[in-house]
Amino acid sequence: MTAVRVLLADDQALVRAGFRVLVNAAPDLTVVGEAGTGGEAVRLARETRPDVVLMDLRMPGTDGIAATAEITADPDLAGVRVLVLTTFEIDEYVFAALRAGASGFLGKGVEAPELQEAIRVVARGDALLSPTATKGLITRFLSAPDATRDTGEPAALAALTDREREVMAMVATGLTNEEIATRLGISPMTAKTHVNRAMLKLGAHDRAQLVIIAYETGMVRPRPRP
């Protein structure tokens, strides 16, 4: 079994050391590099080609958001996923990172088993480690008075079938493939196929990007917070 290769990016050496211990404690995970800045994270991602980058957002110089955007926009790093580490799970920086291409986010207070499983999930190409939390994050910022989004339907959405649109909207509400399958009376594999086709047509590299597109195009409207 090939171990999942992980790159750590955080400006605090002590934090990196802690995460290195937690990651390497799992037999199927291994740390292949450590970066203290966003720029260094991009450079090491190109050198080591990790499966997952654990990315802190607030770093000097090139921050985690810019580094995430650079990594996810590089076609040579198409297989590299970014998992955001943050002190506060509901944070405007996290939303910006998701828009930049991050596959999910995790609080820095995470326990070892949760961190290890999160890395595995993202490495498999899945996203939205906590669908409810991510949905709440997106809803919070997209429902803000100054939130900007395109309310028209881009041409790409027109390429989706009715079922793909239906499934995409369910993904945007935080439903898993299994939950979507139950609601629609289809198999989880069929639900996954619809999700993958929607991602392909819209150029989304994972489910997190699909959610962002669904909200920003107005396909799904955030519910007002009480």
Share of the chain above pLDDT 90, in %: 42
Neighbours of 12 (CB within 10 A): 11
pLDDT at 4 over 80: yes
Angle at 82 between CA 78 and CA 87, to 5 degrees: 170
Q: State the residue range of the domain holding 15.
A: 4-126
For all residues of the chain together, what is the average pLDDT?
A: 82
Q: Decide if 33 is inside a domain.
A: yes
What is the H or E stretch that residue 40 is in? Answer: helix 38-48
How far, in Å, CA of 7 to CA of 30, rounded?
9
Instruction: Report helix, strand or coil for 34.
Output: strand
Q: Decide if 141 is inside a domain.
A: no
How far, in Å, CA of 48 to CA of 84, rounded?
19
Two tokens, residue 144: 């803000």
Q: Is there a single domain that holds both residue 119 and residue 159?
A: no
- Count up the domains in the chain and report the number: 2
Q: Is there a single domain that holds both residue 112 and residue 171?
A: no
pTM above 0.75, yes or no: no
Q: Is there a single domain that holds both residue 15 and residue 115?
A: yes
Q: Is there a single domain that holds both residue 177 and residue 115?
A: no
How far, in Å, CA of 127 to CA of 207, rounded?
5
**What is the CATH number for 209?**
1.10.10.10
Q: Is there a single domain that holds both residue 90 and residue 22?
A: yes
Q: Decide if 112 is inside a domain.
A: yes
pLDDT band at 98 (very low <50, low <70, confident <90, very high): confident
Q: Is there a single domain that holds both residue 11 and residue 118?
A: yes
Q: Decide if 200 is inside a domain.
A: yes
Instruction: Report helix, strand or coil for 16.
Output: helix
How far, in Å, CA of 197 to CA of 199, rounded?
5
How far, in Å, CA of 6 to CA of 29, rounded?
7
Q: Is there a single domain that holds both residue 163 and residue 120?
A: no
Q: Is there a single domain that holds both residue 19 and residue 121?
A: yes
Q: Is there a single domain that holds both residue 159 and residue 122?
A: no
Angle at 142 between CA 139 and CA 147, to 5 degrees: 160
Q: Is there a single domain that holds both residue 78 and residue 168?
A: no
Q: Is there a single domain that holds both residue 41 and residue 115?
A: yes
Q: Is there a single domain that holds both residue 173 and residue 121?
A: no
Residue 2's pLDDT is 85
Q: Decide if 140 is inside a domain.
A: no
